[in-house]
Amino acid sequence: MTLTPPPLSNDCFALPQGVDWTPVDQALALLRDRLHVVTAEEEVSLEAALGRVLAVSAVAKRSNPPQPNTAVDGYGFAGARAEGPHVLPLIEGRAAAGVPFAGEVPAGSAIRILTGAALPTGVDTVVLEEDVRSDGVAIAFNGPLKGGANTRKAGEDVTAGEVILSEGRVLTPADLALASAVGLAQLTVRKRLRVAVISTGDELVEPGEPAGLGQIYDANRPMLLGLMRQFGFDTLDLGRIPDDRATLRAALDRAAAEADVVLTSGGASAGDEDHVSALLREAGAMQEWRIALKPGRPLALGMWGGTPVFGLPGNPVAALVCTLIFARPAMGLMAGAGWSEPLGFQVPAAFAKRKKPGRREYLRARIRAGQVEVFKSEGSGRISGLSWAEGLVELPDGAVEIIPGDPVRFLPYASFNLS
């Protein structure tokens, strides 16, 4: 049986009273505090577990290595050997990986042994093949050799019963190697977070369709669907919805019934044609998030039929930045992966910029020749700049004056799991 966690509460997006423009960090702290995992657990094979969120910490069934074995090809015997020459009689037979030696090796005798072979009874030390002369009857080598040399102890990597992977981890290929090595064939993971994506606006047409005067192609939907897939989520494409309340209501109803989260773009402000915010307000679970952030207009965060709705600005640049900065960590939490922050680093600027205090700012940027350059225009309708960029420069909330060579914080797209 799989358990689905309880839904989020209707007031989970409520902002503190009296706050006008909420600083980015405060908005993030609020999301982090209010949201919780919403996806159910399921057991899957290792093969299907790649990229999934571990729901229950995985415990080693078996130690790695499971038994003491040799790290090299050579000859095994018991005990250390002092400095100087040593000659040991060889017993018949050998120990190889997967083909252990069944007998016992008498004290003072040696046995041929190959990398990965379990140490036979009576063997705790191995001398490297390259250091040995052998005539098939005896071996000769020079000490000193420490007891236990060239061997691996049972459980020196992992011991049975140890937690190998913690709940919330997004599983990597290396994790699958580890799980397999310690005897696990299945892992309990979370079902993928299912995200419904809706574009809104009378002006939007579908790529490939003829576009008349005043119409534009829907740029946000392919971008947002792609982002969600790269974050490891399942998507439900609910298409373009005109600026019509009844049609949007029906789309939101379907989204809430079939998805864990709804992501809309456009119509999130307070204008006449801003139907996403109007409907959420009507439902009594709408919060206009006025975040001190550029680019970005108000975000409409709300609940529709118990399902959280992230109403992104229509502007593609703002939609991408708001998705990376707000939706991604929030959704990661809902998906069970915990709160994640992008890994940024300081890079010398190749540009000059003066910024007033009050809003945190994100610039489309990329690194060339060890310096970070920014897109030639900050115009928030410039979709080409999103594609040109390979990350974002994050400028602090306060005033800054940057001259070329000053360190600035660069957040590569890869640090948001994007390629």
Which residues make up the interface to Mg ion (CB under 5 A)? 201, 266-267, 314
CB contact at 8 A, 284 and 309: no
Q: Residue 198 CB, nearest distance to ligand AMP (Å)? A: 9
* Residue from the set 120, 266, 329, 342 that interacts with ligand AMP by CB under 6 A: 266
When CB distances are held under 5 to 8 angstroms depending on the partner's kind, the choice from Mg ion, ligand AMP, none that residue 69 binds is none
Q: Choose one: 35-43, 172-180, 215-223, 299-307; the region binding ligand AMP (CB under 6 A).
A: 215-223
Tell me the C-alpha distance between 170 and 193, whole Å.
Answer: 13
Select 316 or 391, whichever has its Cβ closest to ligand AMP.
Answer: 316
Beta carbons within 8 Å of 82's beta carbon, 6+ residues apart: 143, 144
Find out whether the peptide bond into 396 is cis, omega within 30 degrees of 0: no
The first and second tokens of residue 396, run together, are 């602090």
* Residue from the set 125, 235, 315, 323 that interacts with ligand AMP by CB under 6 A: 315
> With binding defined as CB under 6 A, does residue 321 bind ligand AMP?
no
Q: Residue 201 CB, nearest distance to ligand AMP (Å)? A: 5
Q: If DSSP codes are grouped into helix, strand and coil, which group holds residue 356?
A: coil
Output the CA torsion 334→335→337→340 (10° steps): -60
> With binding defined as CB under 6 A, does residue 307 bind ligand AMP?
no
Size of the site for ligand AMP (CB under 6 A): 18
Q: Choose one: 84-92, 217-225, 226-234, 255-263; the region binding ligand AMP (CB under 6 A).
A: 217-225
The first and second tokens of residue 278, run together, are 């109007």
Q: Residue 288 CB, nearest distance to ligand AMP (Å)? A: 13
Beta carbons within 8 Å of 415's beta carbon, 6+ residues apart: 342, 343, 344, 391
When CB distances are held under 5 to 8 angstroms depending on the partner's kind, the choice from ligand AMP, Mg ion, none that residue 168 binds is none
Select 155 or 266, whichever has its Cβ closest to ligand AMP.
Answer: 266
> With binding defined as CB under 6 A, does residue 298 bind ligand AMP?
no
CB contact at 8 A, 329 and 417: no
* Residue from the set 204, 279, 322, 411 that interacts with ligand AMP by CB under 6 A: 204
> With binding defined as CB under 6 A, does residue 316 bind ligand AMP?
yes
Element holding 302 (H helix, E strand): strand 299-304
* Residue from the set 39, 109, 220, 264 that interacts with ligand AMP by CB under 6 A: 220
Phi, psi of 332 (to 5 degrees): -60, -40
* Residue from the set 70, 199, 235, 264 that interacts with ligand AMP by CB under 6 A: 199
Tell me the C-alpha distance between 419 and 412, whole Å.
Answer: 9
The strand pairing partners of 89, in sequence order, are: 138
Tell me the C-alpha distance between 126 and 196, whole Å.
Answer: 60
Q: Residue numbers of the site for ligand AMP (CB under 6 A)?
A: 199, 201, 203-204, 216, 218-221, 265-269, 313-316
